[in-house]
Every structure is written in structure tokens, then in C-alpha cells.
A and B are shown apart, each in its own frame.
Chain A
Amino acid sequence: MSSLNTQSQPGLLPIVKSMIARDMVLSARIGGSGFLAAVFFIIVVSLVPLGVGPQPEVLSVIASGMIWVGVLLASLLSLDRLFQADFEDGSMELFFLLPLPLPVLVLAKVVAFWLTTALPLIAVAPILGLLLNLPGPSFGALILALVIGTPGLSLIGSIAAALTMGLRRGGLLLSLLSLPLCVPILIFGVGSIAEGSMWNSSMALLLATTLIAIVVAPIAAAGALKLNMT
């Protein structure tokens, strides 16, 4: 296995590129899981004023938190399909034959997931900010925090998705496993919007958390995938 990997090391990037392109084409053909996630996100956040009342002052206080919780839930719901779809139709077995280290495969899948699912969420977030009366200066921080934080969410979710691949009721378990792990990203994400400047200490901590996830998640998810394929 490993000798195979080192032999074809120069060809790594094209494979990764075509993996990402494949996933994006697939998600577009299936009818845009990213679109559905964004709609779900809008609906969840629109329910908040119905729950807590329409007072603008109240809404502006909880806006950033509700947007983050909405992003978290929307991406979790879509994470269910991250590996499961490939597992069910057998493509996962073919991926294992690729001269591609598994952690790189996970990274490629996560990048594609982020582009197709998280990016639409980030795109609608400012509109939801308007609906929830988010203070004007916070919009920039909101976008930046989401851009920095959502890769972390996707990466943490990829561990849970790999662990629950092929299990009965995997979707529910996936949420149960990944939600507690996502707490720091939620806290730093909301905190960085509350601090009122574009670049602040919460934002730095958010970035640090995502960077740790980049190191840990592909290895952990790769281990879990290997386990569930044998």
C-alpha cells in the first residue's frame, strides 16, 4: 500500500482535483444538497422571531448565535451523505484502490462538501442577519467568522460521518457525536462577532480551532473509514 502511495506521489493533486470536481458535479446533478441546506437554514432562523418575539433589540442580541446554530444544524444534516452515498453505491471501495492516502481523500471530500454546502450557507447568512436585526458593523465579522469556522465544522463532522458510515440510524448518531465536539467553534464563532471588530482574539482562536481540526480530523476520519470498509 505505502509503496504504491510513494510511487504515485507526483499524481496526487490531479486526483484530488478530479475528486472534488466529481463531488461538485454529483451534488449539482442530484439537485443541489447545498440549496436544500440553505433553505433549511433560512427556515430555522426564520422560526426564531416566532419563538422569542419580534422585538428588534432582543433579536439583535441573539442574531449571531442563532445564525451560528442554524449553520451548525444545516451542515450536520447534510453531513449524513458525506461518505454514506459513496458507501452505498460502492464508489468508496473504488476510492480505496486509488493511489491516494486516505487522509487526503477525506480532505478532498471535505473541501467539496464545504464548497457545495457551507458556501451557500455563508451566502445567505447576511440576509438572515438583516432579518434578525444584526448590528451593521457586525456583518463583516459574521462573514469572516463563518468563512474561518465552517471548515472546522465540516472537518469535525467528517469524523462523525466516517464513524457512522454504514450504521443503522447513522444520521442521528452523527449529530449526537459531532455536536458536543463543535462547541468551541460555536463559542469562538459567536464571540468573534460580539467583539465588534473585524479581527479579534475570538477570531484568532476560531482560526486556531479550525487549524487543529485540519490536522486531527483527516487522520481520525481516515481511520474510521478504513475500519468501516473492512
Chain B
Amino acid sequence: MAEFFSMDGYGGYIWPAYVLSVVILAGFVLVSLRSYRHAQKRVADLEANTSKAATTQG
């Protein structure tokens, strides 16, 4: 196991490369998902609002 992590002594380069790739890509997914959810919620709120406004006005 320790041998696997040391990667012939190159673990200090290989693991950061993999960790960085996973962290950046996963982080990007999380950020995108969050702004998607946020937009979804805002649109739903606004749509509910406009239909309300339309009914009160009519």
C-alpha cells in the first residue's frame, strides 16, 4: 500500500496532479450546479410572482 502511494518516489508529483484534477473538475461541477439551482429557484419565484401580479391586476 505504502509502495503504491510512494509511486517509486514520484508520489509527490503524481498525487498532486490527480488530486488537483479531481478537485478542480469536481469543484467546477459543484459551482455550476449551485448556480443552476439558484437560477431555477429565482425563475420559479418570479413566475409565481408575475402570475400573482397578473391576477391581482385583472
Q: Do chains A and B touch in the complex (CB under 8 A)?
A: no
Residues of B within 8 A of A (CB): none
